[in-house]
C-alpha cells in the first residue's frame, strides 16, 4: 500500500490527541503573514525560506537544544492574533481526524513579546478554540504549560488558581516542560501540590525524554503526575515500568518528535512497543506538528510501518487515550463510544 493511501485510511480513524503544543502547531502561512505584518527579523521571502527557520529540516542537528530554537514568540501582538492561531490549530486537528484534543500552551510564551495580560490570553485561546471545536463537532480541553527554567512560585500559583477558576471554560490540566537536566522534578513539588489540591486540574509532566528513568519516577511520586510526556527512558528501569503499569500512568509518546530531537536514533527501536507489551498505558501523540512537518497521522503511520501495528493495536492505544483524557466520566463515555463506533465502521470497510 502506498503511503498516501495509508495516511488517508489513518486520517479516517477517530483519534484522541493528548499532547499537542499550540506554539508548535501554527500554520506556516499564518506565521509568514504575521511575520510580514510585524516586520520580524526572520526569512520572510516565502514559505520555503521561513520553513528553514521554524521547522525541522533533513540534515539538521537532532538534539533537544536545537529543536527548541524553532520556537518563536514574536508572532503575537494582539488578542486577535492569539485567537486566530488557536482557532486554526483546532480546525487543523479536526482535519486530521482528531475527535478530542487536549491543547497545551504556555500563557507566558504568548505574553513574552505581546505583553498582553495572562488571563486575557487564556480566555482568548479558550474561547476561540472552543468555537472552532464546536464548528468542527469535536471536543477540546486546555492544559497550561509551565517552563522549568522560568519557575516563580508566586506567579505560577496565581496561574494555577486562575486555571482552576477557568475549568468551566475548558481548562483541564497543568503541564511541566523544559530543561529536565538542570531543573529536576523535586524543585517543583510545592507548586504541583497546589495543582493536585485544586481537585479539578489533571497533572502531566514532560519526563524521561532525554534524561533518565528516575525523572519519570519522581514525576509520578513527587509531582503526582497522572500522565507523562514522552517517558522514553522508563525502559531503563523495570521498577519504573512496573510503577507506570500498576498506577495506570499514561505515557504521551511522540515518535516523529523523538526522532527529530535525537531522543531515539531509529524509529524501529522506539520504546513504545516494549512499554505497550509490558502493560503500560501508552498513546500516540504529535507534539509539535508544524515544526515536525507532519500530522498525528504520520505518527500513526510509524506504528503501522515500523512496529506492525494493526487496527486492534491502534484501537487499544486509542482507548488508553480515552481513559487518560482529563474528562468527567459522562464525557469520557461519550468519547469512548465515538471512538469505538468509528473503528467499527472502519472494520465494515474492510480495514484490518
Instruction: Render pLDDT for 289-309 as a digit per residue (tens, 0 to 9).
Output: 999 999 999 999 999 999 999
Above 80 in pLDDT, residue 166? yes
Q: What confidence score (pLDDT) does residue 351 get?
A: 62
Q: What pLDDT is stored for residue 350 in this prediction?
A: 62
Structural domains of the chain in order of their starting residue, each with its CATH number: 82-328 (3.20.20.140)
Q: What local confidence, expressed as pLDDT, does residue 27 receive?
A: 97
Question: pLDDT above 90 covers what percent of the chain?
Answer: 93
pLDDT of residue 347: 79
Mean pLDDT of 263-282: 97
Q: Is 156 helix (H, G, I), strand (E, B) or coil?
A: helix
Mean pLDDT of 110-136: 96
Q: How many angstroms separate the CA atoms of 240 and 220, rounded?
A: 10
Proportion of the chain above pLDDT 70, given as a percent: 99
Over residues 211-236, mean pLDDT: 98
Q: Which has the higher per-residue pLDDT, 345 or 207? A: 207
**Known catalytic residue at 209:** yes
| Distance of alpha carbon 291 from alpha carbon 201, whole angstroms | 28
pLDDT, mean over the chain:
96
Does the pLDDT value for residue 116 go beyond 70?
yes
Q: Which of 88, 209, 252, 318 is catalytic?
A: 209
Burial 79-113 (b: 16+ CB within 10 A, else e): bebbbbbbbbbbbbbbebbbbbbbbbbbbbbbbee
**pLDDT class for 13, splitting at 50, 70, 90?**
very high
Q: What angle do CA 251, 142, 216 make, to 5 degrees?
A: 25
Q: What is the pLDDT of residue 4?
A: 85
Q: Starting from the edge strand earliest in sequence, which strands make up the sheet with 15-21, in order?
A: 15-21, 98-105, 139-147, 171-177, 202-207, 227-230, 250-253, 282-284
| CA neighbor of 307 nearest in space, from 244, 253, 246, 229 | 253
3-state secondary structure of 283: strand
The per-residue pLDDT for 346 is 85
Q: What is the pTM of this model?
A: 0.96
Grid cell of 140 as nine digits? 477540546
The three three-digit cell numbers of residue 51, written as one number: 520553513
Amino acid at each position: 500500500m502506498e503511503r498516501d493511501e495509508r495516511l488517508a485510511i489513518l486520517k479516517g480513524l477517530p483519534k484522541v490527541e493528548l499532547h499537542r503544543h499550540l506554539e508548535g502547531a501554527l500554520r506556516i502561512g499564518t506565521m509568514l503573514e504575521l511575520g510580514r505584518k510585524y516586520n520580524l527579523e526572520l526569512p520572510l521571502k516565502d514559505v520555503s525560506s521561513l520553513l528553514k527557520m521554524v521547522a525541522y529540516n533533513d540534515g539538521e542537528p537532532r538534539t533537544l537544544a536545537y529543536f527548541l530554537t524553532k520556537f518563536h514568540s514574536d508572532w503575537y501582538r494582539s488578542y486577535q492574533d492569539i485567537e486566530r492561531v488557536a482557532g486554526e490549530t483546532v480546525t487543523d486537528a479536526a482535519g486530521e481526524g482528531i475527535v478530542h484534543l487536549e491543547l497545551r500552551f504556555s500563557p507566558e510564551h504568548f505574553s513574552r513579546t505581546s505583553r498582553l495580560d495572562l488571563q486575557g490570553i487564556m480566555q482568548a485561546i479558550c474561547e476561540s478554540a472552543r468555537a472552532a471545536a464546536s464548528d468542527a463537532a469535536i471536543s477540546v480541553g486546555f492544559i497550561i504549560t509551565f517552563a522549568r527554567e522560568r519557575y516563580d512560585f508566586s506567579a505560577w500559583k496565581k496561574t494555577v488558581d486562575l486555571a482552576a477558576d477557568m475549568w468551566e471554560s475548558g481548562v483541564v490540566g497543568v503541564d511541566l516542560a523544559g530543561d529536565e537536566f538542570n531543573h529536576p522534578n523535586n524543585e517543583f513539588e510545592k507548586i504541583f501540590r497546589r495543582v493536585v489540591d485544586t481537585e479539578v486540574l489533571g497533572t502531566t509532566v514532560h519526563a524521561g525524554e532525554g534524561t533518565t528513568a528516575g525523572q519519570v519516577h519522581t514525576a509520578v511520586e513527587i509531582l503526582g503526575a497522572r500522565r507523562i510526556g514522552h517517558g522514553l527512558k522508563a525502559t531503563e528501569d523495570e521498577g519504573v515500568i512496573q510503577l507506570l503499569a500498576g498506577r495506570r500512568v499514561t505515557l504521551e509518546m511522540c515518535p516523529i518528535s523523538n526522532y527529530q530531537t535525537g531522543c531515539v536514533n531509529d524509529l524501529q527501536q522506539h520504546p513504545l512497543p516494549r512499554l505497550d507489551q509490558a502493560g503500560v498505558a501508552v498513546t500516540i501523540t504529535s507534539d509539535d506538528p508544524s515544526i515536525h512537518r507532519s500530522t498525528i497521522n504520520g505518527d500513526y503511520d510509524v506504528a503501522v510501518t515500523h512496529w506492525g501495528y494493526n487496527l486492534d493495536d491502534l484501537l487499544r492505544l486509542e482507548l488508553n487515550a480515552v481513559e487518560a483524557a482529563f474528562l468527567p466520566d459522562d464525557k469520557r463515555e461519550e468519547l469512548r463510544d465515538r471512538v469505538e463506533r468509528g473503528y467499527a465502521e472502519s472494520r465494515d470497510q474492510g480495514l484490518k
